[in-house]
Structure 1
Amino acid sequence: MRDMPADPVAPTRDRPLRRLGFLTIGLFDAADPGPGHHVTLEMIELGERLGFDSAWLRDRHLQHGISSPVAVLAAASQRTSRIDLGTAVIPLAWENPLRLAEDLATVDVLSGGRLNPGVSVGPPMSWDDVRSSLYPDTADVEDFGYARVERLLGFLAGERASTFSGTRGIEVFSDRVQPQSPGLRQRMWYGGASLRSATWAGEHAMNYLTSSVVKWEGPDQPEGGYDFAEVQLAQVRAFRSAHPDGDRARVSQGLVVLPTDTATREQREKYEAYAASRLERTRTPQTPAKLLFAPDLVGTSEELVEQLRADPAFREVDEVAFALPFTFEPEDYVQILTDMATRLAPLLGWEPGLLNT
């Protein structure tokens, strides 16, 4: 594979699972969006009660999924006390880094330092459809590259955002983003899918989110077929090779994992049909971007443990944020999260976090 580190499929270390998280899109009914948002908050509360270490929200613009994860996590911060709250991920093309820094710092203060913002770069999805609304005067000169992340990181670290600080009249102004939230810069994540993004995130001392989607950067017809795990493992290693913390740099893997231990027959059939309907897309890269998808994993916790331990990328990490399917019902999410926390994760060496008493 082009540009891969040497020996990308060398034996990996078996790390006990240290941190368990889950990821949701927060689907809602366009005609009545309130209940869907409240279900998301209830799932985060449930996750905390079950001992999950983190809950993550996707970011969906002009769709029927959460468009403002930072706002929803602000609400979640007041309904929880221990669980980390993350975004996976905020596409920075939709954001002004200075304003976003203010929002992130505010929610981090409200949460007591539990916010874990994940971001990504690149042009907005459906760019031609939204450019005149998003950037009516500057669309042709906007930079959607890594510089946008660097600006955000700088503001969160306390770099100057204004040429003035002091008093004007009766008002006092700061030249830094307010509030400042110490430690937030170190909890910034980059959601990447390529070797370039993995290396860049490492060089800039971010944490790394790798999901069930990676970019295929090898030959069009590889000998032995398209190997998702090989690609993901190479990215994890490229990130850590570039990161100042090396092997201790944080990586979270986000696969779709559906335990069926306490599922009803109807739920098991639904989960299996869901995974089967998405299997074809895992065989070859999809779209002009050559995106390669991981198969969804469905089964009992004992079966899932075997599959996960056979995954070299999983064996290289000790944090996960398993993704919940978009279209399931609340009772399905309750069953899946409960089985994850009480059956699957303990078999992987995880111990639940405890609420303060």
Structure 2
Amino acid sequence: MIGQNRWVPSSSVPLRKLGFLTIGLFDRGDPRAGHESTLDVIRLGEELGFDSAWVRHRHLQYGISSPVAVLAAASQRTSRIELGTAVIPLGWENPLRLAEDLATVDVLSGGRLNPGVSVGPPMHYGTVKGALYPDSGDAEDFSYRRVERLLDFVAGAPASDFSGVEGFEVFSERVEPHSAGLRARMWYGGASLRSAQWAGEHGMNFLTSSVVKAEESEDFASVQLSHVRAFRAHHPDGDRARVSQGLVVIPTDTATPAQRARYEAYAEKRLPRTSAPQGPGRLMFAPDLVGTSDEIAERLWAHAAFREIDEVAFALPFSFEHDDYVQILTDMATRLGPALGWRPSS
């Protein structure tokens, strides 16, 4: 059995970094409880030896609307685990202000922040444009240029043509605080071949998830593999460029019968969308992986894209209970990770 022998196929490399991704759901009438649950899950991840914890971003929904604030809190409850966003949609953000927030949290965390971003207009932009950009809604640039601005500010490019002392105050020409290592830990979350190439050309790291665009074929793994290879082909670091894969993975080794039934029902309900490209964007979704760690490991080793990466941020399902996440994360760290050749961080 894979889990017992820790067998690693010769065509793949052992998993080097194991992370997880959570949406951080909360109840409208009691939002604090959901946020506290998210922080507890991140702290548990550190105790279990995970290398990274990532949070999703949801605006005007009952998920984390301010991941930077949540990760600031998490930075004070943990000491080692890396903290990431997957992803911040920059259409909602001012790049200069976001650069300040990211640098501040990176300093507070001791250099553990991994900001992931994406571009494009905000979801349902027509309904929120008047509130978000009342005076400039039709002029906003939602292209890759928005990411370039953020990268420049994070790297220390001038944000003002004024610096020096004025009265009793001292002004800087760049975003402060400046965190020197943050630029190297910026990630782009992409689902298209162009995004993969662009991220590589701009020296970012690349987040690929359970959603891709069916541009070259209708085989999910093949499309995702092409993105990984295109990213690295255009990145200065080549094959050493960092890629993280984010499939939905639900190990059931220590799950109760009721939990297993709920997990299987969740995956079955979402399975039809994986059979063919969806919508005008021709989005393809990967099936959720539910089963024992040995079963999931076998399916991952058979996944063409997984065989070319050595770090993951497995996505936790949206709507489960706190105890479910504890069981899933514990099985990931103690059974699935070792089955993939991973060793927990101390």
Q: Which runs of 5+ in 2 are unaligned?
A: 1-8
Runs of 4+ in structure 1 deviating by more than 6 angstroms, as ranges, are none
What displacement does 1:49 show? 0.1
Partner in structure 1 of residue 312 of structure 2:
320
Partner in structure 1 of residue 334 of structure 2:
342
1:143 pairs, out of 106, 117, 141, with: 141
Q: Secondary structure at the match of 1:276?
A: helix
Query: 1:307-326 CA distances to partner (integer Å, 9 max, x unpaired)?
Result: 00000100000000000011
Q: Distance in 1 between matches of 2:168 and 2:336?
A: 58
Aligned pairs for 1:162-311 (under 5 A) are 162-218=160-216, 226-311=218-303
Aligned pairs for 1:69-218 (under 5 A) are 69-218=67-216
What displacement does 1:210 show? 0.1
Q: Secondary structure at the match of 1:241?
A: helix
Q: Which amino acid aligns with 1:325?
A: P
Q: Distance in 1 between matches of 2:107 and 2:69?
A: 13
Q: Secondary structure at the match of 1:239?
A: helix
Q: Secondary structure at the match of 2:131?
A: helix
Q: Secondary structure at the match of 2:100?
A: helix
Q: Distance in 1 between matches of 2:303 and 2:22?
A: 23
Q: Distance in 1 between matches of 2:297 and 2:247?
A: 13
Partner in structure 2 of residue 353 of structure 1:
345
Q: Which amino acid aligns with 1:344?
A: L
Q: Distance in 2 between matches of 1:287 and 1:141?
A: 27
Equivalent pair of 1:12/1:316 in contact (CA under 8 Å): no
Query: 1:66-91 CA distances to partner (integer Å, 9 max, x unpaired)?
Result: 00000000000000000000000000
Equivalent pair of 1:252/1:317 in contact (CA under 8 Å): yes
What displacement does 1:282 show? 0.3
Q: Distance in 2 between matches of 1:154 and 1:287?
A: 35
Partner in structure 1 of residue 28 of structure 2:
30
Q: Which amino acid aligns with 1:91?
A: P
What displacement does 1:13 show? 4.0
Q: Distance in 2 between matches of 1:43 and 1:186?
A: 26
Partner in structure 2 of residue 8 of structure 1:
none
Q: Which amino acid aligns with 1:301?
A: S
Partner in structure 2 of residue 6 of structure 1:
none
Q: Distance in 2 between matches of 1:140 and 1:301?
A: 49
Equivalent pair of 1:195/1:235 in contact (CA under 8 Å): yes
Residues paired across the two proteins, number: 338
2:325 pairs, out of 321, 324, 333, with: 333
Partner in structure 1 of residue 4 of structure 2:
none
Identity of aligned residues (%): 74
Q: Which amino acid aligns with 2:147?
A: V
Partner in structure 1 of residue 44 of structure 2:
46
Q: Distance in 1 between matches of 2:87 and 2:318?
A: 15
Q: Distance in 2 between matches of 1:347 and 1:353?
A: 16
What displacement does 1:285 show? 0.9
Partner in structure 2 of residue 3 of structure 1:
none
What displacement does 1:12 show? 9.7
What displacement does 1:15 show? 1.2
Q: Secondary structure at the match of 1:186?
A: helix
Q: Which amino acid aligns with 1:320?
A: V
Q: Distance in 2 between matches of 1:206 and 1:15?
A: 22
CA RMSD of aligned residues (A): 1.0
Q: Secondary structure at the match of 2:68?
A: helix
TM-score (norm 2): 0.97
